[in-house]
Chains A and B, each alone.
Chain A
Amino acid sequence: MKTTDAWRLSAIPYSEMAFKSILQNSSNMWWGSFGKGSSEASGRKDLVKRALRIARFDKFVITAFVIVAAGAPFLPQVLGASYGIAASVTLSLAVSFALVVLYGVQTLSSFVTSGPSPVLSTLPLTRKDVSLVNLLSFVRTSDYLVVGSVACQVFFVLFVTGSALSGLFMLLTGAMNSVMGVGVALWLSSVFYRNILGSKQGKRGGVLRLALLLAWGVVVLAIGVLFAAAGYLIPLVQSVLTSPDALTGSILSLVYPFSLGISVGSVSQGLALSLVERTALEATVGYLLVAVAVSRWSMTSVTSFPEGASMGTGEGRTHDTSIPLHEPVTAYTMKDLRAASANMPSAFLFTLPAFETLVILLIRAYLPTLGASTILVAMILGGMVSLILPLVLVSSEGTGFDFAKTMPLRMRTIIFSKALITTAVFLPAVAVVLAESLLKPLTSPFSILIPLASILAVAAASLLEVRLFLGFAPSGRVTFALQEFARMAAGAGVVLLPAIIYVVAYILTFNHALAAGAMLVVASVEVLAVTELIRQS
């Protein structure tokens, strides 16, 4: 089979794989959940339609984002900054690497669990042809991302340095970076999904899953921090890389992707290389060898899937068939947690409110006291992020929700379990604020009531949101999207109202105790009102 024919043919297994990955991770389909009223909206048909839609457009949207992210670090030089490009290249490589990994982990889930297309093996094709088609469908998972980010990096390096050699070196390092990113994504996917879908799910598996989730979170946050602080980080890193302190520079020159960034930067400066630059170039040669090894491992892994060498899933040797039993709400909560944590992106959302709160506190770390405004902003943001959870939890029900519907379950049990999880996910955010209050003096002791009122507000908002998500499903895509937005806006309103009351009360009285008291009362009323609404429905 010609490579061009194989490439054309690989479009079909790739589409199937992207579709299956999205369908597998139904909780990723945030736009378009479901309700109990419409059999179509809650059914497999709707999930399939949405998965197809996302599979078609996801890659284009992510590619556009990756191109912007890869180009953004070069803006200082484009705008006239006089320092070198080593830090910009490093940052661009780091961000594109992280984005390729994040996207790859989601797209490759069905690849690592069932191979790209079992149908291919049933056709009259040689094993070599099947392997080639599989390899090319794997390449298609990140082709636009890789080409887009590398082309963008090469363009900016050429534009800033005017050196063809630098551009060529950027092309090489960009390609290396992409190969490493795709390889890491493949490895992470296989480890995560083998852990989740493997024959045993012991404590060790749980620890590994948690470690992978935290790793995922660190990557996501790192991208955020890199972007938020790019203007500050780029000149700082550049000055470190070019400082006379050879020790710091030498250490960084060995670290990926600093070595690659320094190497690209040094090529444009001619042949007089410093120790740091020479070390970076030598390290880059080492990383080139690693990239070659990673690419060979990836190709071997991918082409071996159709021969049944994919991630070892299957049945174990369990003989203990005891069934632990719990209260219905507890059982539903445990089920929700298990279902929603079965894929990395949605599982990471469980830790996001605490991370967000931490970021707010870090941004205001320079202040000597912990003010009510800081606590209020941290709690509002943490609460808002928590309110993504109801939609994720409802979406992660997937077609399994039909199983729950055959159970003698009250709708309020389902609502309370999802609201319980959402509120529990918000609690670490509160813990972060309380921990900060132990380290820093409070401007007012009454501001410690703000987190308490926020817990109540988040509980009320999540109850309302879940109730609305499960309540009805309008027909029509636009109406559906608007309704979904309205449901989330209703939840946001419930979180914001007590905070607004606090601000208004404080402006009117300049009394923290009164403002916090008013906030607490409003949040309590919200909980009572929403609970009554659910009880009556």
Chain B
Amino acid sequence: MYGSFLALNGLDLRVVPGEIYGLLGPNGAGKTTTLRITAGLIEPTAGSVVVSGFDATKDPLHAKTQIGYVAEIPILYESLTPRELFEFEGSVRALAREPTDRKARQLAEAFEVASAFDTPIATLSMGTKQKVAIIAALIHQPPVLLLDEPLNSLDARSSKILKEILSLHVQRGGAVLFSTHVMEIAQRLCSRIGIISGGKIVAEGDLDQLRARAGEKDATLEEVFMKLTNEASEVENIVRMLRESFFDDEDH
């Protein structure tokens, strides 16, 4: 709860090893709150979060060793350089020197950020900041990845690389909880999708299960989503209004 606002309302979901779970929902539905609670950034007023067997509220330290988190807007110490940030993270997580160096080198090459290693994060482009946040989430190779719109600001190359990394991660038994607005990405990338609205999961399953739930055979995920969140008719009305009046004004 934020003051009197109930951000999540009896939300119940489970992400199993070996799957990418996509969390879809309109703005303010509770996607980011779900991820922030799981990452240990917010304490839930009720309920519990268990990460790899560790209760995130009772044993946050162990739970956090299992998690890599990428926020919707990169949360980083902007006065530090990426090297200093990874130094801070690696030290706090008590990582071993040699594998950390190796992973940092590999990820820096993969996301093309080696040249920015000694540049204060504040001066980096949004895309490079996002890459730094992604490397920070991956460098300790956690079993659970919590990704809030991780493809935001990424170029096509880096998006492709991240998607491949996520596939490899789940092939090796990792789990990913992934929030996005982009239906095409969710449809292609996620093995299971949860549609969240008003702070609770309104539908869950793979695409076929969601289509069945929406009663829309052969529909795209976008159509299914609109139907399940009761936004389809609203969107149709808005499009009609725009078609009838918005562009008419320009003609006059």
Q: Which residues of A contact B (CB under 8 A)?
A: 24, 39-40, 113, 196-197, 199-201, 313-328, 330-332, 334-335, 338-339, 342, 398-400, 402-410, 413
Contacts and interface: CB of A to CB of B under 8 A. Distances in A.
Contacts of B154: none
A399 B117 CA distance: 21
Contacts of A39: 2, 41-42
Which among B41, B67, B78, B88 has the highest number of chain A CB atoms within 10 Å? B88
Contacts of B114: 318-319, 321
B153 interface: no
Interface in B105-131: 105, 108, 114-120, 122-124, 128
Contacts of A113: 122-123
Given A314-B123, A318-B115, A331 B79 contact: no
A199 B79 contact: no
Nearest to B96: A325
A308 to B, nearest CB: 14
Contacts of B81: 201
B92 A321 contact: no
A65 to B, nearest CB: 28
Considering the complex of A and B, which 10 residue pairs feature the smallest CB-CB distances, nearest first? Answer: A331-B91, A342-B79, A400-B77, A313-B123, A408-B64, A402-B75, A315-B116, A318-B117, A321-B105, A326-B91
Contact of B93 (A40, A313, A407): A407
Nearest to B121: A400
Given A405-B40, A408-B65, A323 B87 contact: yes
A400 B92 contact: no
B181 interface: no
Contacts of A409: 61, 64, 92
Given A316-B115, A403-B76, A331 B67 contact: no
A140 B67 CA distance: 47
A335 B88 contact: yes
Contacts of A323: 83, 86-87, 90, 97, 100-101, 104
B21 interface: no
A197 B76 CA distance: 15
Contacts of B120: 196-197, 201, 313, 342
A406 B79 contact: no
A313 B119 CA distance: 8
B95 interface: yes
B89 interface: yes
B71 interface: yes
A39 B45 CA distance: 12
Contacts of A24: 122
17 contacts: A113-B123, A314-B123, A321-B114, A322-B104, A323-B87, A323-B104, A324-B87, A328-B94, A331-B91, A342-B120, A398-B78, A400-B76, A402-B75, A405-B41, A406-B39, A408-B93, A410-B61
